[in-house]
């Protein structure tokens, strides 16, 4: 198929087409029992859950930045009483293939909001995981000749609602992409403590174009994975605290190899990015961040080109 339709090989090539989430018609504030992540639950209980209008304003401002840089921005079809902010998790583009995620039941209807936006993709290049394979897009990172995955072993996957990608997804993706190395990182999970929960891989690591990365080591369960990341990015790694992961400092978004969109309040991160030589565009995203997702979470790239 033509790469004009669907093509992504890494996290930073120049963005041409993307689906950005929407907060329209998301319905009433859920109960604490209905929360699908611990940070949303915390804000529900505290009475600080964000308003639809505040989140929509942040998303629309982000869209204006993307469009000013020549990006074609698509938005989900509004579905009443459904949170459609975090489009990243609904699917993932890997090379010229589009994978429809197998999400938790509470979020599965989000596919109906973007399915028409992906209808131009050749059917043979659209992959749907079989029964027993579970994955969400926030756990999948195209890394040129590798695919990075965040996942949970069965012990955690069967306990935590915040475990979204299982071990079976690793084997399934390897079959779909036999030429790629699948590199899997087991994530730390909690349904009640947002400071110790790495909801997806993109909540604890952000690889950048020039061999840099932002990393919260405790988001990964295995010491050998933490050591591997530190060795790979030696001298080019910014490690952030549990407080920073809570505030989503790893969840920024590259719109080109040299240009990154980040949250206005990420003072230390933004200063480091500029020191590394990146152009940083700051935009308010704090209200959206109360839902345990930020800029990468609210985007579903369909096309990047060098």
pLDDT digits (tens, 9 = 90+) for 230-280: 999 999 999 999 999 999 999 999 999 999 999 999 999 999 999 999 999
Residues in the chain: 306
Tokens of 160: 């935590």
Q: How many angstroms separate the CA atoms of 93 and 114, rounded?
A: 14
Q: How many angstroms separate the CA atoms of 267 and 32, rounded?
A: 31
What's the whole-number mean pLDDT along residues 166-178? 97
Q: What is the pLDDT of residue 3?
A: 44
What's the whole-number mean pLDDT along residues 194-217? 98
Q: How many angstroms separate the CA atoms of 216 and 198, rounded?
A: 9
What's the whole-number mean pLDDT along residues 69-84? 97
Q: How many other CB atoms are there within 10 angstroms of residue 108's CB atom? A: 12
What's the whole-number mean pLDDT along residues 132-138? 97
Q: How many angstroms separate the CA atoms of 29 and 37, rounded?
A: 14
> Model pTM?
0.96
Q: What is the pLDDT of residue 119?
A: 87
Q: What is the pLDDT of residue 1?
A: 34
Q: How many helices (H) and strands (E) does the chain have?
A: 9, 15
What's the whole-number mean pLDDT along residues 19-41? 96
- Topology of the domain comprising 14-305: 3.75.10
Query: Could you say which DSSP state residue 12 is in?
Result: S
């Amino acid at each position: 198929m033509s790469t004009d339709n669907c093509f992504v090989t890494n996290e930073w090539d120049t963005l041409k087409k993307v689906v950005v989430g929407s907060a329209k018609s998301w319905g009433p504030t859920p109960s604490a029992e209905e929360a699908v992540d611990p940070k949303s639950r915390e804000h529900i209980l505290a009475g600080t859950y964000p308003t639809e209008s505040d989140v929509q304003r942040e998303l629309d401002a982000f869209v204006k930045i993307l469009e000013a840089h020549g990006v074609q921005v698509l938005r989900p079809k509004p579905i009443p009483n459904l949170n459609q902010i975090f489009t990243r998790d609904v699917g993932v583009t890997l090379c010229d293939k589009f994978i429809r995620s197998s999400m938790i039941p509470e979020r599965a209807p989000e596919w109906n909001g973007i399915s028409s936006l992906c209808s131009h993709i050749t059917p043979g290049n659209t992959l749907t995981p079989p029964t027993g394979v579970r994955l969400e897009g926030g756990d999948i990172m195209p890394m040129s000749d590798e695919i990075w995955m965040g996942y949970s072993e069965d012990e955690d996957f069967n306990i935590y609602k915040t475990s979204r990608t299982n071990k079976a997804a690793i084997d399934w993706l390897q079959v779909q992409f036999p030429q790629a190395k699948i590199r899997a990182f087991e994530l730390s999970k909690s349904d009640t403590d947002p400071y110790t929960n790495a909801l997806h891989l993109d909540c604890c690591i952000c690889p950048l174009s020039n061999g840099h990365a932002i990393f919260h080591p405790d988001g990964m369960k295995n010491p050998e994975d933490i050591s591997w990341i530190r060795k790979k990015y030696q001298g080019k790694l910014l490690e952030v605290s549990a407080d920073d992961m809570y505030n989503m400092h790893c969840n920024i978004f590259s719109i080109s190899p040299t240009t990154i969109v980040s949250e206005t309040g990420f003072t230390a991160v933004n200063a480091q990015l500029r020191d590394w030589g990146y152009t940083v565009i700051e935009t308010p995203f704090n209200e959206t961040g109360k839902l345990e997702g930020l800029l990468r979470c609210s985007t579903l790239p369909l096309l990047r080109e060098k």
